[in-house]
Structure 1
Amino acid sequence: QIEEGYFRLGDLFYFQLSEKDNASQSYIKLLNRFPQSEYVPEVLYKLYLIAKDTDPAKAEVYANELKNNHPRSTFTRILINPDYMRETSVAAEKQKLIYKEAYTLFQANNLRPAQEKLKQALQEGETTFTPQLELLKVLIVGKTEDVTRYQFELGEYIKKYPDGELKPYAEQLLAASKTLLTKLERAKGIQFIKSMEGPHNFVVVYNTSDKITNPVSSAIEKFNAVQFKDLKLSTTNIILNEEKTITIVSEIPSQAAALSYFDKFLAQIAPGKPFSNYKFYSFVITKDNFQIFYRTKALDEYLAFFDRNYQKQNQ
């Protein structure tokens, strides 16, 4: 609150009262007391503007500090090129439109086309929206590469955009990934079978507390009757643990048929009710691996196995 108070007081003196000396004092107090503040780049830029007409040497000090310590800040870019915002706004708007398409593809696990869209967006040049594009690029790495590479790319992103709005989110992703990796290391005894031959099950996992077992089963049974009536599939509901319930579709004859089922589920019924209103996980699994999954309750581990061994083949 004190930090923001200095910032707001400085803005009051600078913009509303035109008292530049008092504004400078408030901004400098903020820098001295809160050197790691998110406001630092903006404050340095304002101090530069205040000083440039009356004390060029001091203005140069602020400018150099801004450029050296915050090279990727929007305020640094404006300092170097006063037309920066105008020049990048058109490109950024184009990027936002392409990003929406890429993110929709990413959410549907259609990862190669998503990567192509991101490449197209990044070719528009570096704009204020570029960090959003690059973070989605890292998220795709998390889906398609090993966890070490994913963590490395998150770390590089954080270093590249130390003042970025998405830095805290990237830090959360990195921390969560490290926690998961620790959990996986502890669970090294869980080994899923890498043979994908033979019959498969399709599984939907959701929170028991959501009380959606009946609508989930009903939606899937109707889907099976329309799309896979020749396969004679059966649907079963089972409690997985204290928090999760699973709905299982059994007797899918092969890996190819299972992936076809998975793709059609994501495209045709996952976007509708009840699925669109709740968080759930879906995947296909061999009968042997289902026995391991159900015995160990290793949801995170199997989801990682599924992405590495099924999703990459299906991109």
Structure 2
Amino acid sequence: MHQFHKYIDLRQNKESPFSGISFWPTFTDIMTVILMIFMLAMVVTIIKNSNLLEQLSGVKSKVVVLEEKLKESQAEENELKMNIADLEEELRSKEMEIILLKDEKEVIKSTLEAKLALISALQSDIERMKREKEASEEKLKTLTAEMEKKIEEFNKKFKILTNLLSEKEKKIVVLSAKSKELELALARQRREYTLLEEEYNKLVGPARSPIGKDVVTVIYSKIGEAYRILFKDVNSNKTEALTLNQLHNRLRSLKEKLGDRLYVKIVIPENSGLTYNEAWNFTKDILTKYDYYYQNRKRIYPTLNPPQGSNESRIRPSEGLH
């Protein structure tokens, strides 16, 4: 018979008279106990497993959170590293700026010292210039007084000269009137002389004409004190400037080449600047040496001379010699 002592008897046939002598009921009871123990263990295990699952899910969520926090921490760490690198670079830059500022400070200090020295020198120069200015002002006062005296004397002399000048101007007006009268008289004499020469030429021989001749043109004028000669060759529209010697050489060559066919046309332009005698002597010299007409009349032309007293007159355009 089973002895349960303090344990509860769970057998179904515990009241049976054969319960103490039967083997199978005892085995059944044992199996029942084992099953109950197994069921209890299973229940406990299931409960524990459910708790473990809850804890595991909680741990997983915590792990996810921790991983996210870890990632954030790594990102923050990287950002902090970058910030630290930037700060280090900025620190190095600031240190370099500090070094440069120190150098600049030294330069400014030396420049300031130089400026102070220059200011001191300038102050000395200013003092010296003030003294020189005072001396110059004294000299200027003296010179001003002397200049006032000289100006007063000059004004007196100027008045005297003005009076003399007015008298001279009156005389000049009178002389100008006389000069105009002389010029008119000379012009009349030149016209009369030209008419006489034309009449004389008509009586002596045929008139001078460029028809059938080879014509060269010589333009003679005076600019200031310099004489100007322009030459235009036979059948040419181009003029060229020549010296007097070059002109003689050119005309001499043409005379040898053309002979009696060479007609020399001399033009005295308007406002030529020549006196009548200068124009006359040049014309006479050139024509008597090279022009066909005067080559045949050398014994006659030298007797023709310009009117006397014409040195001061100027050739007018209507009085050009050809």
Normalising to structure 1: TM-score of the pair? 0.22
* Structure (1 or 2) with the larger CA radius of gyration: 2
Higher RCO (Cα < 8 Å, 6 or more apart):
1
